[in-house]
């Protein structure tokens, strides 16, 4: 699998959703990690596809990325 590390996120959520997030964090903390990973993965894929569709050059850490 991947090498992982811990991060701390502070987000502002509507009160009812924040309460649900607190409950999920207490009962199934791994679930929130998977949700965040899923969201960031979707965002990364979307940005990659958007760059390709606009003909923008793709770069990773400043180096061109071969497609």
Answering whether pTM is above 0.85, one says no
More reliable by pLDDT, 63 or 44: 44
**Model pLDDT, residue 56:** 61
Does residue 10 register a pLDDT over 80? yes
Tell me the C-alpha to C-alpha distance, in Å, between residue 3 and each of 6, 34, 35, 37.
Answer: 11, 15, 18, 13
Q: How far apart are the C-alpha atoms of 34 and 53, rounded to whole Å?
A: 28
In this structure, are residues 67 and 52 in contact, taking their beta carbons and an 8 Å threshold?
yes
């Amino acid at each position: 699998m991947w090498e992982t590390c811990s991060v701390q996120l502070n987000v502002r959520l509507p009160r009812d959703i924040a309460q649900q997030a607190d409950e999920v964090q207490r009962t199934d903390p791994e679930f929130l990690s998977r949700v965040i990973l899923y969201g960031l993965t979707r965002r990364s894929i979307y940005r990659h596809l958007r760059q390709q569709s606009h003909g923008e050059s793709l770069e990773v850490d400043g180096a061109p990325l071969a497609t």
